[in-house]
């Protein structure tokens, strides 16, 4: 069976070599499931063709300002438009994944304002609980030559402040860490927790950020005791690796935040 790397080489996906093992690890356990996937940014179509071959039972959508004509199967649709156009994103979801996407990959403009608009619209409205949202090339925020990037200026720590780079895509990804930390946004260790995070986990790699959506019910504040019974497993939790990380022996954060895609996307969500 072909690996993702082999397929990428064959289809001409425009993905740095370092990204493919990340996706291979993440997606191999669910490769043969009837998933729905949206990729923002199609270029010549190499990655859309790659996902089509890698996920033989998935329904796949691509979006690009200027998509090419591609010979694709009827499992794949490619749309023309802007990633920041939330009405278009809603239209794509209604056409391809009315129950929500399992996987969204943003390999598009890599401009923070646009990436953030797409992220929150798709995450809140069109990503299944337990689904994953991958943001590529967030390292552009460190590039002085990138439209909204900038050179890292190391500022000295002062007192409690540990300043860090907050430019462009780097700043956006660091804002996502604030969302991950929502329960800790409270007065102190004995104070009630803040609301539950909308994220069950975030994985950060050099230039790839993977966010996993929590179960809808967990995006409301929950007590620590209640959180222990909140374990579920959905399509993207189907791996042995994931299954073995679930269970009573795990810490509160993981129990509180694990997700299940069986929970309707229409569940109540806090505003951000």
Ligand X SMILES: C[S@@+](CC[C@H](N)C(=O)[O-])C[C@H]1O[C@@H](n2cnc3c(N)ncnc32)[C@H](O)[C@@H]1O
Residues that bind ligand X (CB under 6 A): 13-15, 39, 41-43, 46-47, 63-66, 82-84, 107-109, 114
Burial of 29 (0-12, 13-18, 19+ CB in 10 A): middle
Nearer to ligand X, 84 or 183 (CB): 84
CB of 134 to ligand X, least distance (A): 11
Nearer to ligand X, 41 or 130 (CB): 41
CB of 99 to ligand X, least distance (A): 24
Q: How many residues does the chain have?
A: 272
CB-CB contact of 70 with 49 (8 Å): yes
CB of 89 to ligand X, least distance (A): 10
Nearer to ligand X, 130 or 141 (CB): 141
DSSP-derived secondary structure for 87-118: HHHHHHHHHH-TT-EEEEEE-S---HHHHHHH
Token digits for 218? Answer: 């967990």
29 CB-near residues (< 8 Å, 6+ apart): 238, 239, 240, 241, 242
Nearer to ligand X, 65 or 243 (CB): 65
CB of 44 to ligand X, least distance (A): 6
């Amino acid at each position: 069976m072909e690996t993702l790397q082999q397929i990428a080489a064959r289809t001409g996906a425009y993905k740095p070599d370092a990204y493919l093992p990340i996706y291979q690890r993440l997606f191999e356990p669910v490769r043969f499931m009837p998933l729905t996937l949206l990729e923002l940014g199609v270029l010549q179509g190499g990655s859309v063709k790659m996902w089509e071959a890698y996920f033989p039972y998935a329904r796949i959508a691509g979006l690009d300002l200027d998509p090419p004509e591609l010979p694709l199967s009827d499992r794949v649709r490619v749309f023309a438009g802007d990633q920041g156009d939330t009405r278009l994103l809603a239209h794509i979801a209604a056409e391809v994944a009315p129950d929500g996407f399992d996987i969204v990959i943003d390999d598009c403009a890599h401009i923070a304002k646009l990436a953030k608009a797409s992220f929150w619209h798709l995450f809140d409205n069109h990503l299944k609980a337990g689904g994953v949202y991958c943001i590529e090339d967030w390292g552009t925020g460190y590039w002085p030559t990138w439209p909204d990037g900038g050179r890292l200026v190391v500022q000295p720590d002062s007192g409690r402040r540990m300043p860090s780079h907050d430019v462009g895509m780097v700043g956006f990804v660091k804002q996502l860490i604030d969302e991950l930390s929502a329960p800790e946004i409270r007065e102190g260790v004995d104070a009630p927790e803040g609301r539950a995070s909308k994220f069950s986990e975030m994985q950060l790699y050099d230039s790839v950020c993977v966010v996993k959506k929590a179960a809808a019910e967990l995006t409301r504040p929950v007590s620590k005791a209640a959180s222990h019974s909140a374990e579920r497993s959905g399509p993207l939790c189907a791996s042995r690796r994931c299954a073995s990380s679930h269970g009573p022996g795990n810490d509160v954060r993981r129990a509180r935040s694990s997700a299940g895609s069986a929970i309707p996307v229409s569940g109540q969500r806090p505003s951000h």
